[in-house]
Structure 1
Amino acid sequence: MKRLILITLLATISLATAGAVEPKTFCRFVPERSDDFAWENDKIAFRAYGPALSASAENSGIDCWLKRVDCPIINKWYKENAEGKSYHKDHGEGYDPYKVGASRGCGGVALWLDGKMVISNVFREWKVVKSSKEESVFVLTYYWKHDGDSYKEDKKISIKLGDRLFKTESTFWKNDNIAIGLPIAVGVLRHKKSNKLSKNLDKGWVSVWEKLDGSELGTGVLMDPSRIEKHELYVTGKKLEDHTLLITKTDKNGQVQFYAGYGWKKAGEINTAAEWEVYLNGFRHQTDSN
């Protein structure tokens, strides 16, 4: 009898282990959901909007998918959403309550011309460079026109296991030439005036801390402090248009580099605005090494 119980117990453990999904990074194009491009690690998940939404309100903003499990959820959530189990509701792993619209969301960029953001539409091209357990890398390409000039952005995004921020390295062209010294705004959306805004320009970051569906969320962007021209609180009074921004310029290679991400209280690791600010203050800069 004891032998039978032991065999049953070992078999149960073996099945549980076989069914476990280990933490990893992941990214992919999602044609079945209006051409999204989604990426994640064991802490955070995001998506950008693609060609099928070119006529919608969404454009080049970045959407947060709030996850509270360390296993991959992108494929699972898209599949379940198509079957009627909405990822806009938390079924135990997290959900997507973050409203982006035409905003920059969490870490979107814009041209900064005459004191205003000039934004691109959805990405038109994509390419996966790498997708492994430890790191995923991909490129999204955006095209747009303004005042008779043509612009292009190659947005190279990388996400590493264990980080709460993903890295963006964007290269800009103007009229088919590398755009050197082009003013760029990078930031995060402030959903309500009551949201707590914080910044530490010596450390290179701005953040928003907000209440969300009975929990709380911190979002932020971070860059090399020496590349910051100024901080801008961009307020229009219209829905989904207020942002806290870092204004920078492209370097000699037409590039800007920065990090963006979030900490969600319900995930159990970042519980207060102060803890989120400590995380941003301590995050390692990799702009010179990658």
Structure 2
Amino acid sequence: MKKIFLSYITACMLLACTNNQPMTVTVSNPLDIDRSGEMVEVSMDEISNRLKLADTAQIVVLDAEGTEIPYQITYDDKVIFPATVAAKATATYTIQEGIPQPVEVKACGRQYPERLDDMAWENDLVGFRAYGPALQAGGERGFGYDLFLKRNTSEPILEDLYAKELDKEARARAAELRKTDPQAASELLQSISYHIDHGYGMDCYAVGPTLGAGVAALIDNGEIVYPWCYKDFEVLDNGPLRFTVKLEFNPLTVKGDSNIVETRVITLDAGSHLNRTAVSYTGLQESLPIATGIVLHDDGAVKTDAANGYMTYVDPTTGPDNGKVFVGAAFLADIKEAKIVKYSNDEKKQHGNAEGHILATSDYEPGANYVYYWGFGWDRADIKDINAWNNYMANFAQKVRNPLTISIN
């Protein structure tokens, strides 16, 4: 009887071990280019079912050498983690029950009501903002995306930039100093301004009444239907590896219909220079052209490659010596046309003296998502010249059209 009891206990233990076997994820790269730190996604439901996890159980992700890999569970219940896979090769990762190590925050953001409702976000390489309802209520036309440049750090910088820029006490001291020492007042204001690089980043990109660094807009009778600032927002993911925000806009008038509502879902992953953006419109009754635009501030180098799905521009930045910003967009689906559109002198006055836009045009079908990617590099950070940027963009366009694939054992 005792032997039977012990055999039963042993069988139960073996069954329990079988139910908690690690899960192997094989990531395959179909391209002949190496891919490093690219996010892959696995359903959390599938992980839970395969590992037979209790509700409170945690997991760890390990590479082939057994090194723990950081991960995040997203708002739509996916486990994302960065994968590195050589050209035309596979890499194996293991997911198992365990207590993960803390993960350093690489992607995050929030609304800044203290700065006219800016929605600002960043990762370890780049930062961005979309202008909000408070700015629009003041009458300012800020249609496009703005850029926050970063260097010499992989840590979040936006909280510090905004805190200094909006320092009321410092600005009050500067106002007093102007009466007796204008030079000291100017130096104090420069020391807190986010328009000046203090060693780790700055805002020196001009947007104005344009599409800025990559906003997409419908085309109605050959004219861009400029979207104003967002109306409502919902932060869906806030790090440590992915930031996702959903923006909803006030109704647009398109084809005489004043009830067309735009929604954008913007996602920025750690390690990427580009945001993924899915744009949709409710109320639209017919197919229309949609254009992704990058504002032109001068006659800097432009590259448009519709066949391979990307476009780039070298922006001069504002200020005396802030380097060059390399702006670009990449497209998941084929685009019909990518071209430079220059403004007349009268149009320049209406658009903050901008020279025009690069526009990549596709067709938008009612009820669909228009998905594309947009972002930038800076010659004071990791992208040193336009050749490096064009190579990055060409490779990025290949990657989004040929994603990493996973199989689970």
Describe the superposition over 1:205-248 as per-residue Cα deviations: whole angstroms up to 9, x where unpaired: 1111133425111001110242x121232211411251101111
2:204/2:322 contact within 8 Å kept: no
Unaligned runs of 5+ in 1: 1-20
Alignment correspondent of 1:18 = none
1:52 aligns with 2:134: yes
Residues 214 and 34 of structure 1: CA distance in aligned 2, closer, same or farther (over 3 Å): closer
Give TM-score scaled by structure 2 length.
Answer: 0.61
1:62/1:107 contact within 8 Å kept: yes
Describe the superposition over 1:70-103 as per-residue Cα deviations: whole angstroms up to 9, x where unpaired: 1101111111111151111111111001000011
Q: Runs of at least 4 residues of structure 1 off by over 6 A?
A: 286-289
Alignment correspondent of 1:170 = 279
Alignment correspondent of 2:337 = 230
Alignment correspondent of 1:37 = 119
Letter in 1 for 2:118: D
Equivalent in 105, 109, 117 of residue 212 of structure 2 = 105
From the two aligned structures, give the one with the greater helix fraction. Answer: 2
- The 2-side partners of 1:167 and 1:125 are apart by 19
Measured on the aligned residues, the alpha-carbon RMSD in Å equals: 2.0
Residues 141 and 118 of structure 1: CA distance in aligned 2, closer, same or farther (over 3 Å): same
Equivalent in 363, 367, 374 of residue 253 of structure 1 = 367
Give TM-score scaled by structure 1 length.
Answer: 0.85
Equivalent in 249, 261, 265 of residue 142 of structure 1 = 249
Letter in 2 for 1:74: L
- The 2-side partners of 1:253 and 1:146 are apart by 15
Question: How far 1:286 sits from its partner (Å)?
Answer: 6.4
Letter in 1 for 2:390: E
Letter in 1 for 2:223: K
- The 1-side partners of 2:198 and 2:403 are apart by 40
Alignment correspondent of 1:218 = 326
- The 2-side partners of 1:215 and 1:65 are apart by 13
Q: Which piece of structure 1 moves more, 59-68 or 152-161?
A: 59-68
- The 1-side partners of 2:402 and 2:140 are apart by 32
The percentage of counterpart residues that share the same residue type is: 30
Residues 29 and 179 of structure 1: CA distance in aligned 2, closer, same or farther (over 3 Å): farther
Listed as ranges, the matches of 1:113-128 within 5 Å are 113-128=220-235
Residues 125 and 179 of structure 1: CA distance in aligned 2, closer, same or farther (over 3 Å): farther
Partner SS state of residue 277, structure 1: helix
Letter in 2 for 1:181: S
Residues 254 and 178 of structure 1: CA distance in aligned 2, closer, same or farther (over 3 Å): farther
Alignment correspondent of 1:242 = 356
